Amino acid sequence: MSERRSINWDLWTSAALTLVGLALMLDAWTFPRGVRGVPGPAFFPLAIGGSIVALSAIVGAHAWRAPIVAYWDRTGREPILRRMLLLMALLLSYVALWNVVPFLWRTPILLILIYRLFRESWTRAVLLAAALTVALYALFEGVLSIQL
């Protein structure tokens, strides 16, 4: 009987996210810097890219030492891979609709679908999506004066 070889998905995901974060930071270096202590357009991409790299390094370090877990049937009920693929499709749709659907429609719909994908009740999904959308809108439009 041959032994089935398992893949350390957490480690591979960490490596992929590290590359995404580094690519984001590399691209952000082409943006103008801030002036007189006011952050420029490069600030957020650099901060987000650095955060992605740091967090994925933490996940990678943990995955390096942790036992390999079969993602195909972690709960015994359904494969998690299907949910992850649906999540990626939702996120890609969100980006594809960026200039087509306004933020105040696109964001809560995406969040509700993500919450439902991960088994939140309809009531909780709608409330969380509405609260997060309003908070993001207030932060970007009100505090940071960034048009969404």
The pLDDT of residue 126: 95
Number of domains in the chain: 2
pLDDT: is 44 or 7 the higher one?
Answer: 44
Residues 6+ apart with CB under 8 A from 79: 71, 72, 73
Residue 3 pLDDT class (50, 70, 90 cuts): very low
User: Within this chain, do residues 14 and 61 fall inside the same structural domain, yes or no?
Assistant: yes
Residue where a domain stops, chosen among 17, 39, 69: 69
Residue where a domain stops, chosen among 52, 69, 86: 69
Return the structure tokens found at 33.
């810097």
Return the structure tokens found at 93.
């749709």
Q: Of 43, 50, 54, nearest to 23 (Cα)?
A: 50
The pLDDT of residue 70: 60
- Span 57-116, pLDDT tens digits: 998 888 888 776 665 555 555 566 778 788 889 989 988 888 899 989 999 999 999 999
Beta bridge partners, 35, equal 38
CA 90 to chain CA mean position, Å: 11
Helix/strand/coil for 35: strand
User: Within this chain, do residues 59 and 3 fall inside the same structural domain, yes or no?
Assistant: yes
User: Within this chain, do residues 81 and 64 fall inside the same structural domain, yes or no?
Assistant: no
Residue 1 pLDDT class (50, 70, 90 cuts): very low
State how far the Cα of 106 lies from the Cα of 83, in Å rounded to an integer.
20
**Domain containing residue 4:** 1-69
| Residue 121: how many other CB atoms lie within 10 Å | 10
**Alpha-helix runs per DSSP H in 29-121:** 43-65, 80-96, 103-117
User: Within this chain, do residues 49 and 90 fall inside the same structural domain, yes or no?
Assistant: no
Residue where a domain stops, chosen among 69, 94, 120: 69
Which one-letter DSSP state was computed for residue 77?
S
The pLDDT of residue 4: 46
The pLDDT of residue 75: 54
User: Within this chain, do residues 5 and 48 fall inside the same structural domain, yes or no?
Assistant: yes
